[in-house]
Structure 1
Amino acid sequence: MLIGILQTGQAPDVLIEKSGDYPDMFERLLAGYGFEFRSFRVVDGEFPADVQACDGWLITGSRHGAYEDHAWIPPLEAFIRDAYAAHVPLVGICFGHQIIAQAMGGRVEKFAGGWAAGATDYDFEGEKITLNAWHQDQVTQKPEAARVVGRNAFCENAALLYDDRAFTVQAHPEFEPDFVDGLAQTRGRGVVPQPLLDSATARLSDPLNSATMAARIAAFFQAKRS
């Protein structure tokens, strides 16, 4: 199964040598499930020829806001709607979660409650799952087509399921602790409140359920569809 990775941002240059860029992280996360991958830098205007070019699509995180005025965002939203209509499965992570919601009629905003950073606990329909988070924007109004399948007190729309067409998650199962530590040292200082950075650093050794989320993503991609 060929998964197209739609890259909407880039890891900090100082961290790429050790951690790789976002597509590398997702290829590691989903290793062992028999997927092949092809990446498209949509952040630079590189788009697939059509939604059938791959068997499924994964939209990465980004430092950009889904509501910002960038030339590549409207065609990405159109691509999302076309893939949804064609029943080509979509997975969105962080920005990917937000842009799919926005494309489908939801609302994304800079959250008044501030940032989430580092290991964060979520309720996935009764199952506690801990994943790394790094965001201030949130889906504040979900699309009608979406059902909430993950949440916590800070983020009520932390994971959304659009029947068998899209599965999106606000957190970053692809972020390993050393990458979060690097973000705290690079993008975090002066932007994320220091107490939150301190809390993220304090939880760097907490067990994560990234493998559990990888299995969910893989199962979603591989599900039989009519």
Structure 2
Amino acid sequence: MKIGILQTGHAPDELLPTSGDYDRLFQQLLAGHGFTFATYNVVDMEFPESITACDGWLITGSKHGAYEDLPFIAPLEAFIRDVYAADIPLVGICFGHQIVAQALGGKVEKFAGGWAVGRQTYDWNGEQVALNAWHQDQVVTLPADAQIIASNDFCAAAALVYGKHIFTTQPHPEFSAEFIAGLAQHRGTGVVPDPQLAQARENLDMPIDDGHIADQIARFFKDRTVA
């Protein structure tokens, strides 16, 4: 199964030599599930020729806001709507989670409650799941057919499913502790409050459930279920 990675941003330049870009993080996350991958840098206006160029699609995170007036936003939203109408499986992570919701009639805004940075825990379909997060924006109004499957006190819509078409998450299963440490150093300083950065660093050695969510993503692509 060929997965098209729609890259909506790039990792910090300082992290590229060791971690690679966002597409590499997802290839590592989903390794062993039998997928092949193609990357499209939609943030740089590199779009697939067709929604059928791949068997499924994955939209990455980004430093940009879904509500920003950027050249790639409108064509990406149109692509999302076309993929949804054609019943092709689509996964969105962080910015991907937000842009899918916005494209299908929801609302995204800069959350008044501030940032979620580093390890967070969620009620995920009745079980406790820990994942790394890095966001201030949130989905605040759901599209009509979106169903919440994960949440916590800070983020009510932490993971959504849209029938058997779409699966999206606000936290980042692809972000390792090392990557969070790099973000804290190169994108967090002066932007995220210092106490939150300190807490994120203190939690770097705590376990996360990235493999569990990777299995859910793989299962969704193959079987259209996250159960």
What TM-score does the superposition give when structure 1 sets the normalisation length?
0.98
1:9-32 CA distances to partner (integer Å, 9 max, x unpaired)? Answer: 000000011111000000000000
Match of 2:39 in 1: 39
TM superposition shift of 1:41: 0.3
Deviations along 1:55-91, one digit per CA (max 9) or x if unpaired, are: 0000000000000000110000000000000000000
Give SS of 1:58's match.
strand
1:83-112, Cα deviation, whole Å (9 max, x unpaired): 000000000000000000000000000000
In the TM superposition, 1:1-40 aligns within 5 A as 1-40=1-40
Task: Give yes or no for the alignment of 1:95 onto 2:95.
Answer: yes
Aligned mates of 1:97, 1:224 — CA distance in 2: 17
C-alpha distance in 2 between matches for 1:113 and 1:144? 25
Q: Once the two structures are aligned, what percentage of the paired residues are identical?
A: 60
Q: Residues of 2 paired with 1:78 and 1:16: CA distance?
A: 30
Residue 117 of structure 2 is matched in structure 1 by: 117
Counterparts of 2:93 and 2:213 in 1: how far apart (Å)?
A: 11
Aligned to 2:198: 198
Match of 1:174 in 2: 174
Listed as ranges, the matches of 1:102-181 within 5 Å are 102-181=102-181
The aligned residue for residue 61 of structure 1 is 61
User: Which residue in 1 is equivalent to 2:220?
Assistant: 220
SS in 1 for 2:190: coil
Cα deviation, residue 194, structure 1: 0.5
Q: Look up the equivalent residue of 2:177 and give its one-letter code.
A: P
Amino acid at match of 1:14: E
Length, aligned pairs only: 225
Q: For the residues of structure 1 that align with 2:224 and 2:13, how far apart are their CA atoms? A: 39
**Which secondary structure state, in structure 2, belongs to the residue aligned with residue 156 of structure 1?**
coil
- Counterpart secondary structure, 1:130: strand
Matched residue type, 1:154: F
Query: Which residue of 2 is the match for residue 49 of structure 1?
Result: 49
Determine the C-alpha separation between the residues in 2 that align with 1:115 and 1:224: 31
Consecutive aligned runs of 4 or more in structure 1 exceeding 3 Å deviation: none
**2:165–2:224: 8 Å Cα contact kept in structure 1?**
no
TM-score, scaled relative to structure 2: 0.98
The AA in structure 1 aligned to 2:74 is P
How large is the RMSD of aligned CA atoms in angstroms? 0.9
Structure 2: which 5+ residue stretches go unaligned?
A: none
Counterpart CA distance in 1 for 2:133 and 2:141 is 19
Residue 54 of structure 1: how far off its partner (Å): 0.3
